[in-house]
Structure 1
Amino acid sequence: MRIDVLGVGEAFDPAFENSSVVVTADGYRLMIDCGATVPGLLMRKFPDPDAIDAMYFTHMHPDHVFGLVPVMLNWRDDGRSKPLHIVATAAVRNHLEKIMELGFAGLGSAWPFEIIWHGVPETTEIGPFKTKFARSDHSVQNNAILLRFDNKGFAYSGDGNVTADTAALFTGADLVFQETYLPKHDLRHAAHCDLETILQLASDMPGARFWLYHIKRDARREIAEILRENEQVRLAVPGEVIEIR
């Protein structure tokens, strides 16, 4: 299983694009989240309009979904031919369909390639991946995802605090990408996770690695310093490629 890290930033980070990854196994590529600042990263890394087989959206906030229409318009212009599978809850699907309707206004009545929808949490397979979902504690419904392939697991949290369900989900992962907004819990940002929570979770899961993303822009340096000698928990780096074997 291969993970291409596109962006790692929080919603308004001027230095880092919105968080997004592409997970590949057996030649199949699944993109997770596509925020407003992600399309350029995707097009540079995967210029072929048929490169991405499926997309999963953790929740409906702009920094996770507003890049969808620019990406789809680019694929249309570049001649995409294969269907696009989109995995989302019913609420996120409704949100995405409205965005697509607005974004495609004046350009025709339908997308020139097929869109196939898959629901959450009932989808148990997408391409070669076995899938499971668990809800985090966020300001809107957010579902972390676990992808399993060839006895290896990759989990992506989306946004929100760790819950008993997401912690249980992560036990099936060799690598966990976890949103970590602040070093310590702050009631003003109660809908986001903090480093202290992740360090405790990591101590309970010594076999898993944790890569942190969506860090508040003025907290990044402090979190990096805390983790400077930590081999289990580290910051995700935009553009890096990770192989889980």
Structure 2
Amino acid sequence: MARTILEKLLIVLYVVTVVLWLISMFTQGWLVYSIDFGDQTYATFQMSLFYYKNCLRKVCITKLGTDDDNLEESMPTWTEIQSLSITAVVLCAVCCLLFILSDPYFCKKFKRTITVFQIILNLHAISVLIELVLIIRMTVYNATEAQNHYNSISFKVPYSIIIAGVGWLAGVNGCVVGYIHHSSLKKNNREREGPNQESTAYAHTVRHTDQPPPYGQPPLEYTNVHAPPENYSMPMYTK
């Protein structure tokens, strides 16, 4: 069974979403700023979801992010942002694997029923919502930090949030394409069930009409329709 265009597009969107979310997870662009000390000395700060790097005069220190070492009060906890990102990536990756493994072209033992496909769509929608919460939380944190700091601190573009946002758009498109494909599958099933129900009803009617004749009566196909009636008497001819 060949894959349809919608199925191929879904696989591409799932893979793109997972890859972009993985890239954003480990890049140091969730919070980026530099501090100008006025004597041509700059300090830079870069943050990923698992660690942050602070550089001063070409000397950089990298530390693992823990809840005991929160950077600011307005910052979400490290556990929160890490759990949101990991959950979204894992759910989307599971959806991608389930969709590929349930393809008859790839694996004939595991059939992709409408129920299985509905589960895949729901899990993917949940992953998209979780990633959206993460993006909103970190965007609000960046905006809050930019308002509460001095002019000597210049905030850079949080490129990791942008990468995650592009992946989120791919995930939303995956949801839309998935539900369109789901609707087409349900429509095709209804069209296939229609002729099957008619043939089943016809077979049921044939079984009811093909009943044995009453006791003592010959079958219909052996009844002589040209035989005279029972009370018929031969006419008498006289010379």
* TM score, norm. by length of structure 1: 0.21
Q: Which has the higher contact order (CA 8 A, sep 6+)?
A: 2
Task: Give 1 or 2: higher helix fraction.
Answer: 2
- Structure number with the higher strand fraction is 1
Normalised to the residue count of structure 2, the TM-score between the two structures is 0.21
